[in-house]
Amino acid sequence: MVSIPMTIVSGVFLVVSLVLLLTETEVPVDPAWVPLIISGVPLLYLAVRRIIFEPKIKKISSALLITIAMIAAIFIDEVFAAGQVAFIMALGEILETITTARARRGIKSLMKIAPARGRRIVTDEGGTMREETVPAEQIAVGDILRILPGEAIPVDGEIITGNTSVDQSIMTGESLPVDKIAGDSVFCGTINRFGSIDIRATKVGEDSSLSKMIRLIREAEHNKAPMQRIVDKWATWLIPVALLVAIITYFVTWDISRAVTALIVFCPCALALATPTSIVAAIGQAAKHGVLIKSGEALENMGKAGIVAFDKTGTLTYGKLTVSDVIALDNMTEDGLLVLAASAESRSEHPLGKAITAYAVERNITPTDTDSFEMTAGKGIKAVIGGKTVLCGNSRFMNEHGISTDPASEIIETLRGEGKAVVLVADDKNIIGIIALADTMRPQAAEVVKALKDMNTAVVLLTGDNGKAARYFAKQAGIEDVRAELLPEQKVEGVKELQKTQKVCMIGDGVNDAPALKTADTGVAMGTIGSDIAIESADIALMSDDISKIPYLKRLSNATIRTIKFNICISIIINIGAIILAAVAVLNPVTGALVHNASSILVVLNAALLYDRKFIKKDKKSAFGTKH
């Protein structure tokens, strides 16, 4: 990396050299040698290194053209012109380095999620079973492990005894703990919420789901190439053309000064500044609107993205369950149903129970004390309230207590088809009501999807949630392409499949989204509620969790790309004009260098205009809000 302090020193000495040149003051050593040494020697080293080590056409780079121009200028004793070219290129490299610097701490945080130890069940020689705590790396496939409520699961495994509910949002992003019984699979790093279970280890160490997720992030990071400078892409034809122009100029005019001037004005300094300065301005513009862009490459790829893939929970939705339906049956009133359900659930630690109790309190319904309370992990609860038995749970729980769910089956299927969680409420004989809970769609979601489609951008839903919930919310948002029940590795495969046709932007909030965010050409994380892993893995973070910023971000990225292309065209036009003027002796090496600087300044000023442009819609009715 070019040293910023040393580049500043170079600039100071270059200004001194220009002042001496304009005042025709002679000194023993031209101060321009300082920027030439500080900024020019690294360019010379880079050019030589690429010639020696890079394969084939990659040997030719912008550094080689600038080195040739510097040497030619020194040859005819135009040290200022040589130092000026070296300084401008160093300045461009600093700007690009600043915009692409990123903090890569996500993998370390992810590794801390996996528990360091596990509780293994072993059998003594006498046949007595006992527990022993062992380091996670000592757990082998086939070992029996006991997981108590509140503990993280140290390996992938299969439940052999016990029932529970497991918070596996780290893997699937699901907003609800998933009920588990014997025979069900559990994943490393997920949390056992309620019942005690024994599991048989099926995948351990590097083979576990969590380790695989870490590996996916590392691979995606390794495979994502840094943004290539536009001048290096064009260097393969810039160098031959520049040399040809200089040679032709010399043989036509027999004036070496004109030939060197042509080389100097042909140097792609303005081209080198076209990309980083536009990106710096755009990143500053985005920061004013609560969007953190971590690299220029992310901005460039966002502008080129033809597909935007959304996660559901916490992204299109708030990721928080609330009561959506209270359906009273068997001559029961809604308030009467809520009194019984909230009273029974008041001692429950399950998220569904807490949501029901909170909803009742909001309705000014005060739960009453229970005479007894019994919870069956992964199924439901049984409580006695004023001598009356109340059951709250799923269909399996009701059937185990001899209560038929047939009278409510049609309602249950309808609610589940809408992606809602269903809690059945019964007395000791019949179903007396149904309470449904649902995540809430963000109000801007549908308009965001429409705005993206209006910009010819396809929208896809990639989620770990069940198919019914995914399709229900996708329909509300206006998304036709839905891919549900995906584990992190399957989300990655989904992104890779989409990348076969166009560049992909992935938007998510959870740890389970991190590999997909890394794999996508651009990853956008929900900054406030998003996990630290997702934020670190993403290229862009929405600090206010306002998804209406996505269309704004797309418009900003598109404008940035257009500005970069415009700056490139302007710099090329100026270069061509300067070459003609050099050939007819209107420009000499010094004035040529000044014109060269002027084109660079023009590019920087045009790029700076991005900072104050308005990309937020002003329509008050728009979900995108008013101008900030």
* Annotation marks residue 481 as catalytic: no
pLDDT at 496: 94
Query: Do the beta carbons of residue 509 and residue 530 sit within 8 Å?
Result: yes
pLDDT at 157: 92
The secondary structure element, H or E, covering residue 598 is helix 589-608
Query: Tokens 């030719």 correspond to what residue?
Result: 60
pLDDT at 217: 58
For 290-317+443-554, which CATH superfamily applies?
Answer: HAD superfamily/HAD-like (3.40.50.1000)
Task: Name the segment(s) of the chain with CATH classification 2.70.150.10.
Answer: 115-207
pLDDT at 623: 35
Residues pairing with 524 in the sheet: 507, 540
3-state DSSP helix/strand/coil % of the chain, to nearest 5 = 50, 20, 30
State how far the Cα of 524 lies from the Cα of 539, in Å rounded to an integer.
6
pLDDT at 585: 81
Q: pTM above the 0.85 mark?
A: no
Give 116: exposed, middle or buried? Use CB within 10 Å, 0-12, 13-18, 19+.
exposed
**Mean pLDDT per 10-residue section of the chain, whose length is 628 residues:** 78 87 83 87 82 68 72 81 78 61 48 79 82 90 92 91 84 70 88 89 84 64 49 63 80 83 71 73 78 80 92 85 90 91 89 90 90 86 91 91 90 86 91 90 92 94 85 91 89 94 89 85 76 71 80 90 84 80 79 72 77 60 35
pLDDT at 628: 32
Class of the CATH-defined domain 115-207: mainly beta
Which residues lie below 8 Å from residue 99, measured CB to CB, with a gap of 6+?
A: 276, 279, 280, 283, 295, 296
Domain 322-438 fold: Calcium-transporting ATPase, cytoplasmic domain N (3.40.1110)
Catalytically annotated residue among 143, 179, 232, 311: 311
